[in-house]
Amino acid sequence: MSLGFSVETLMPRARGGGALRMGLVPLAHDQWLHPAPDLATRAAAFDAGDCVAVLPEAEAAARETAALLGVAGGLGEAARAVWEDLCLVTSDADRGYRLTGGAVAFPTDWRLPEKLGQSLTQVHAPIHGYAEQLSKGVDHFVATLPAGAIYGRANWFVVPTAAGRYLPQDDPAQRFAHVTTANAGDTLFVRCERQTLRRLPATGAVLFTIGIHVAPLHALSAGVVHRVADAVAQTGGGEHARRAAPFYAEALAGYAAARRDELVETIE
């Protein structure tokens, strides 16, 4: 099964609204990572700030990751050679699986130093419903993932910028204040995370990759725009608020409605 490398191809695979789900699909080895990464953009992001942290218990896995990618060095060097951010999850008898290493150039509203050393449930704590709906399934999947297999999934966010790093600090009402139905095609962007998991055979660590793909609404097909608008409308409660949806949902819905004729023409 394929999982593309653009918002247009990832959104149909991404979860809509409603209950949380993993939504994993098996990937062939040649579908693991972006085939044509923009390494200059990656290098600039890493050069601009401290994006790499590896705890001692993950150092062997970091070297194994670099070797897997044919790169000399550790996790930082490996992440400069691919489009995807790289995270390492290792386990011990006392604390279970934890995030113990990362090379993250393009975070989406999270900071590696704050998550390092945490369990998977703690890492995902800001996601409303994760502990109740997903934590047991994710923990079981990670614990039983066989070496050699690769699985992928897609996630999405609606944001007001095409920037690779998304670490907003301002009030979301102010962040989206300029967005209207008339300009939403140019001022709202869909940000997809193409995530994959595979177990490293030598160390047994799980390598989690995150590839960021961003596109403005106007560059997407009417069908994908409607899928995004529906997903936002169906995302409820705390997760709706966490994604700042109250501040752009109306403009997004209006923009999607304005493109309804285009969608009908495509179906016919």
Instruction: Return the minimum-mean-pLDDT range out of 11-15, 68-72, 212-216, 264-268.
Output: 264-268
Q: What is the pLDDT of residue 54?
A: 97
Instruction: Return the minimum-mean-pLDDT range out of 112-126, 160-174, 179-193.
Output: 112-126
**Higher pLDDT, residue 214 or 18:** 214
Report the 3 state secondary structure along 185-253. HHHCEEEEEEEEEEECCCCCCEEEEEEEEEEEHHHCCHHHHHHHHHHHHHCCHHHHHHCCHHHCHHHHH
**115-191-81 Cα angle (round to 5):** 65
Spatial CB neighbours of 115, under 8 Å, sequence gap ≥ 6: 99, 102, 122, 123
Q: Which two tokens stand for residue 106?
A: 């393009």
pTM: 0.94
Q: What is the pLDDT of residue 132?
A: 72
Torsion angle, alpha carbons of 161, 166, 172, 177, to 10: -10
DSSP 145: P
28-66 pLDDT, tens digit per residue, is: 999 999 999 999 999 999 998 889 999 999 999 999 999
First-to-last C-alpha distance (Å) of the chain: 27
Categorize the per-residue pLDDT at 173 as very low, low, confident or very high, splitting at 50, 70 and 90.
very high
123-138 pLDDT, tens digit per residue, is: 987 777 776 777 788 8
Average pLDDT of the chain, as a whole number: 92
77-130 pLDDT, tens digit per residue, is: 999 999 999 999 999 877 789 999 999 999 999 999 999 999 888 898 777 777
Judged against a pLDDT cut of 80, whether residue 153 lies above it is answered with yes
**Higher pLDDT, residue 19 or 205:** 205
Q: What is the pLDDT of residue 23?
A: 77
